[in-house]
Structure 1
C-alpha cells in the first residue's frame, strides 16, 4: 500500500492542496484542503466521503459504523450507482462500480482555486460478465465553495446500451424530523414503502417515518431546509429526470449493520438520478453526463 500511495502522490498530488492517504484497509483516499473547502474522495467506488466549505459544518454524512474494506461500499458519502439503480436478482445492488477501484486520470487546481479530480473506469472481462457492454466511465469531482460531481458515461461499443444511474448523496442534517425538502411540490413519485404506489407530493417533503420515494419527471433544483441546523443546502442537477428521497427511520435502520443506532436522525438522502421508469439509452459512440451541484445558500 505504501508503494501504491507513493506512486499516486508522485503522479497526482498537488502540494499543500491534494494528497493521497490510506483510508483504512489499504484503501487510498484523496484528501483535499483549500481556503474554500475540504473534501475526501475514496478511489474505491470513486466515492466522495466528505465535503465541508470553509467555516461550515460538514455537508456530507458518513455513518460512525461505516465499514472500510475492499469490495464493500461505505455507508454514507456519495456512492455511484451505475449502470443500474436499485436491486437486481443475482447481481450487485446499485450496479458494480461502487466497490471497484477507479483510476486517477487527472488532478488540477483551476483558475478559481477549485480542485478538480478526474477518476475513470473502463469495461473488462469481469464487468462484461455482469453487463455485456463496452463503456468508459468518469467521475469528475470539483471541490470549492460548490461541490460539483459529473458522472460521464461513454458508449465505446458498436451497439446501443440502456442504463439507470445515481449520485446517491447522503446529507448531514441536525434533525431529520425538523427537516424539509423543497422543490418537489406537485411531483408524482413512486413510493417504495407503499409497494411502488404512485402518489403526488403536496407541499414540501417532511419526515416522520420511513421515506423511500422515486420522484419522476423532475429536473428541479431541490433545497434541504435543515431547520435545526439553521442552514439550507441546494442540490442543482443536469442530465437527471428523477430524484430519490430516502431516510430509513428507526425500524429500517436496524437492518443496516453499518449504521449506528439513532443515526437516521442525522442524515437524509436526496439523490440525483435516472431511476425507475427514467432510463438513458446511448447510441454507439454517444455520451451522457449526470451532474449534481451542491452548495450552501
Structure 2
C-alpha cells in the first residue's frame, strides 16, 4: 500500500492517501461534493462532509491520531465489546488495530453498492488478539457514500473458529452539533434504558424527547430502526437508520468528565453528541461458520422536514 501520491479511481470516486502519521486513509467523494474519510487505523470514519463542505462528525481538537490510542471522534468501531469489562481494552480492540483493504469481499446485496462510492475493509484475528480474546474471526466493514451524501456502514462478522463465540458491538458515532443544550433526540421515548451513571440500573424514558442539561451515558434497549437527532440552531436533523443493531447508546460527558479526559477539550462537550447503533444488552452469538450483519445509515435533512414523516421518507436502507 506504499502510495507516494494520491491514486484516483474515477469509477468509484475513491482516493487512497496518507494522514500526517503516514497511515493510509481512503477518501470517498460524490459528484455533488459530499465526502468521507476512513482511516486504516481502526477502520474509523474520521470525516463526513455534506455537499457544502460542512463537517458533520465531531473530532476533538485534542484527539491523538497514533496507535495504540483510539481516535477521539468520528465513528470508532467497538468490537468485540462495548464498554469496559474483563481483560479486554475498553470498547474492544478493533478500533486500535490496523485494518487492510479487502480487494475481494464476498458479495453484498445489490442495493449496498449501486450508485455509491465505497471501500471494503477487513480485520482478521491476530495472535495478539487471540491471547486476550481466544476466537478466530473475520470482520468486514463496507463504508459507502451514496450520490445524495448519505453515509452507510455495513459490518459483517464471521466466526471461523472451531467453537461458538459472542460479542457486543457499537458504531460509536460522534455527531457534530451546534449546542448540546439545543439538541433533542426523537424515537427513543417510552423505551427502557440502562443508565451507566447508576451502575447500569434499568429505567424507562419518561420524556417526549431526549434533551440535555447534564451528563448522559445510557443504552436504550430494543429501539426502532429510525432515530432523529434534531439540531435546532442549525435547522437540520440527523436521521439514523439501522438494521441488526437493536440498542442505541447515547453519551455526552458534560463539563466535569470533559476536564478529566486528556484527549478532549474542556468545553468540547457542547459541540458533540454520541448516538450509537449498537448490540449491547443481548450480545450476538455465532456458531462456527455463521455470520452476523449490522447496517447503519446516516443522513441529514432540513429540520423543517417533520419528524412524523421519517418513516415515510426513503424508509429502509
Interval of TM-score (by shorter of Structure 1 and Structure 2): over 0.9
The equivalent of 1:93 in structure 2 is 90
Which residues of structure 2 form unaligned runs of 5+? 106-111, 302-317
Task: Please give the secondary structure, in 1, of the residue aligned with 2:102.
Answer: strand
TM-superposed deviation, 1:228: 1.1
Residues 111 and 278 (structure 1), Cα distance of their counterparts in 2 relative to 1, 3 Å cut: closer
Residues 283 and 23 (structure 1), Cα distance of their counterparts in 2 relative to 1, 3 Å cut: same
Distance 2:295 2:205 in 1: 24
- RMSD of aligned alpha carbons: 2.0
Task: Please give the secondary structure, in 2, of the residue aligned with 1:93.
Answer: coil
Task: Please give the secondary structure, in 2, of the residue aligned with 1:206.
Answer: coil
Matched, 1:263 2:265: no
TM-superposed deviation, 1:33: 2.4
TM-superposed deviation, 1:107: 9.4
The equivalent of 2:286 in structure 1 is 282
TM-superposed deviation, 1:110: 5.2
Residues 106 and 117 in structure 1, CA contact (< 8 A), matched pair in contact too: no
Normalised by the length of structure 2, the TM-score is 0.87
The equivalent of 1:250 in structure 2 is 255
Residues 87 and 132 in structure 2, CA contact (< 8 A), matched pair in contact too: no
Equivalent in 21, 25, 34 of residue 29 of structure 1: 25
Q: How does 1:70-219 map to 2 (within 5 A)?
A: 70-106=67-103, 111-112=114-115, 114-144=116-146, 145-202=149-206, 203-219=208-224
Residues 156 and 294 in structure 2, CA contact (< 8 A), matched pair in contact too: yes
Task: Please give the secondary structure, in 1, of the residue aligned with 2:282.
Answer: coil
- What CA deviation, in whole Å up to 9, does each residue of 1:124-161 have, x standing for no partner? 21111111111110110011221110111001122111
The equivalent of 1:291 in structure 2 is 295
Distance 1:198 1:294 in 2: 28
Which residues of structure 1 form unaligned runs of 5+? none
Residues 28 and 118 in structure 2, CA contact (< 8 A), matched pair in contact too: no
Residues 155 and 286 in structure 1, CA contact (< 8 A), matched pair in contact too: yes
TM-superposed deviation, 1:5: 2.6
Q: How does 1:216-227 map to 2 (within 5 A)?
A: 216-227=221-232
Aligned residues: 290
Normalised by the length of structure 1, the TM-score is 0.92
